[in-house]
Amino acid sequence: MPPRPGPLTASLALLLVGSTLAAQTRTVRSPSTLPRLVVQPPPPPGPPPQGLAFESAKTYGIFAKLTWPPAANVVKYSVSRGKGGDPSCCNATSGDLPATASSWQDAGLYRPGSYQFTLTAHYADGSVGAAAVNLDVRYAAAPTPITVNDVAAGKIQLKWNAATPGTSGILIQGPGVVPGYGAVGTTLVLGGGPLDLFLPAGNHSWKVAAVYDANNVPVLPATTYGSYPKYGTNYVVLAPPSEWADVSHEVKIRGDRFRISLERFEAVTLAGEDILRSDGRGNEVYIATQVNEYRRWGRPAGSGPVSQRMLKTPTFGDAHNFPGRIQAGTASPTGGINTNDSYPAPVHLISQLAAPTTGNLPFFLWEGELTEIDGAVIISPSIWESDEDNRLFQPFADFHAYTAGNLQYLNALYPFMPWYPSGAQNLWRPIRCPATASGQYPSYFTSPLGAWGDEPVDMQERQSYCQTYVAINWRIASSYTSVNPAAVVEIPMVGTPPWGSYKLFVRIEKLAPPPAMVAPTRMRRSVP
């Protein structure tokens, strides 16, 4: 049995193994076993090309034409381009050009600034020579400068540099450039502009690119970014969308939400009645109101109102034996309108205003948005003396529906000013029946019933009625609510005897108003 190794023997064995591994490691890392890097020496310098220049007739906008005279012993040329101060931008190369080449056309100068063009000549002896020239580009992918200015409320004007060489106009993408109020789209605008845009309130942005006549450019690249035939010519966009100009503008338009209602009425002179009729003491009246809403934008001129409705209140007066009536007036214990009666009682403080309803007074007529450039509400109210014979009411409503179209010319006015394009402000616009030479009134609406039946108190000469309108737009509504968020306006309703005379009060409210004030709300603006 061999002797067991002692500690000294084991230590010697470990040392031998370690020496062997170290020797192997030294062998692997020996420089003699690594591959050698062969560094090619640079080609010997050759003469730089001479006469390098730009052909001015072919250098404008995004184009450049580089020219040079022939040189001896050249086997090929190449051109490289870069933008000064921005080495990551706008780099391009021509690739190899033949020895016979004497020019190179470029169409990628999308950004204004200084560009450096380097022409490299490769000679037959292996030498290389290079020369460089700089070109300052003032106009690039869009005909800058581009400006946007406010012309009027909701109307802006976009201008661009019409003197940009070579361009034929612009291509613009964004809101307002296609038909439809604020509609987003793309359009081609030839010439130098300017371009008027009508827009709603808010922040708006556009992208603008120069367009070129495809038949009149120094070089047409293989890739274009839009082709637009017009008037027998093909117009092209040469710059990618990333290089178009970005233009933004905030349009500010004042506007508010308003509510219009019938506040109350007051009897001045009673309308004559048939004493044989059992319809109660004094007058019994109701209020019929035609409500037309007009919008300018998004509607063709002459297309008529957005909406039109004939609204009718309950009958007010003597409620005896008439459960559908609302008791009003002092002519009897159960009501009946008397001279100087007012229904409901006048309200002097904003805090006392009752909410409009559809079953009593105040009576709701309209609520919505009005702005300084769009929207008008035209109401045509009339107080009717009731004889429980309403055969006239439907022809009267039909007449109002028909004449609503006569006001459609308002739809084409700018700004949206009722009645007076010059800018005068009239809330109450009566259309009276003018007297003729014989003293008679021409009939705007003729009662088919003769003397009796339900009829407006402001009839003229018994059987003719002339419409009267209240035209309300943002400017008018704002003027009435500038001090307090609500105002009550007095409207006269005057007929010829035996027809009566009444006063009607219309309430105009600006909704979401500031904290209530305690100033009087009645403004008592009557029109003679």
pLDDT tens, residue by residue, 259-276: 999 999 999 999 877 655
Rounded-to-integer distance, Cα 464 and Cα 441, Å: 8
Residues in the chain: 528
CB 527 within 8 A of CB 425: no
- What's the pLDDT tens digit per position in 43-92? 888 899 999 999 886 677 788 899 999 999 999 999 999 998 888 888 99
Cα separation, 84 vs 118, whole angstroms: 12
107 and 174 inside one domain:
no
Q: Ranked by mean pLDDT, which of 136-150, 295-309, 330-344 comes out on top?
A: 330-344
Residues 275 and 424 grouped into a single domain: yes
Higher pLDDT: 330 or 472? It is 330
pLDDT of residue 446: 56
User: Which whole number is the average pLDDT over 357-372?
Assistant: 94
Residues 346 and 490 in one domain: yes
pLDDT confidence of residue 326:
97
* Cβ contact 379:506 at 8 Å: yes
Asked, for residue 522, whether it belongs to a domain, the answer is: no
Overall average pLDDT of the 211-223 stretch: 87
State the pLDDT at residue 72: 93
Say which CATH number the domain at 232 has.
Answer: 2.60.40
Per-residue pLDDT band for 247 (boundaries 50, 70, 90) equals very high
Looking up residue 98, the CATH number of its domain turns out to be: 2.60.40.10
In which domain, by residue range, is 96 found? 53-137
Residue 208 in this model has a pLDDT that exceeds 90: yes
The predicted structure's pLDDT at residue 421: 35
Residues 146, 249 contacting (CB under 8 angstroms): no
- Mean pLDDT: which of 2-11, 136-145, 342-351, 384-393 is highest? 342-351
Let me know whether 451 and 319 are in one domain: yes
Specify whether the CB–CB gap between 97 and 76 falls below 8 A.
yes
Candidates 156, 151, 150, 147; CA nearest to 175 is: 156
**What is the percent of the chain with per-residue pLDDT over 70, rounded to a whole number?**
75
380 and 398 housed in the same domain: yes
pLDDT > 70? residue 31: no
- The predicted structure's pLDDT at residue 279: 72
How much is the pLDDT for 301?
Answer: 52
Buried b (16+ CB within 10 A) or exposed e, 230-265: eeeeebbbbbeeebbbebebebebebbebbbbbbbb
Given a contact cutoff of 8 angstroms between Cβ atoms, the answer to whether 239 and 164 are in contact is: no
pTM: 0.67
Q: Residue 14: inside a domain, yes or no?
A: no
Q: Are 411 and 488 in the same domain?
A: yes
Q: Which of 225-234, 345-354, 400-409, 468-477 has the lowest mean pLDDT?
A: 400-409
* Domain contains 26: no
Of the residues 103, 137, 171, the one at which a domain ends: 137
Q: Are strands 233-236 and 202-213 parallel, antiparallel or unpaired?
A: antiparallel
Is pLDDT above 50 for 461? yes
Residue of 167 and 375 predicted with greater confidence: 167
Please, what's the largest Cα pairwise distance for the chain?
A: 160
Note whether residue 271 is domain-resident. Answer: yes
Name the amino acid, one letter, at 310: M
505 within some domain: yes
Are 358 and 211 in the same domain? no
Q: Which of 493, 492, 490 is nearest to 508 (CA)?
A: 490
In terms of domains, do 221 and 280 share one? no
pLDDT beyond 70 at 159:
yes
Total domain count, the chain: 3
Classify residue 7: in a domain, yes or no.
Answer: no
Rounding to the nearest 10 degrees, give the CA dihedral for residues 418, 255, 293, 376: 0
Q: Is residue 37 part of a domain?
A: no
Structure tokens at 302: 């002459």
At position 488, the amino acid (one-letter code) is V
Q: Are 110 and 141 in contact (CB under 8 A)?
A: yes
Do 320 and 466 fall into the same domain?
yes
Q: Are residues 196 and 118 in the same domain?
A: no
Could you tell me if 455 and 355 lie in one domain? Answer: yes
Let me know whether 132 and 151 are in one domain: no
Say if residue 142 is exposed, middle or buried (CB neighbours under 10 Å; 0-12, 13-18, 19+).
buried
Q: Are 363 and 369 in contact (CB under 8 A)?
A: no
In the predicted model, what is the mean pLDDT of residues 428-434? Answer: 39
CA angle in degrees (0–180, nearest 5) for 14-19-20: 100
31 inside domain: no
Q: How confident is the model at residue 278 (pLDDT cuts 50, 70, 90)?
A: low
Higher per-residue pLDDT: 144 or 361: 361
Looking at the predicted structure, is the pLDDT value of residue 24 above 50?
no
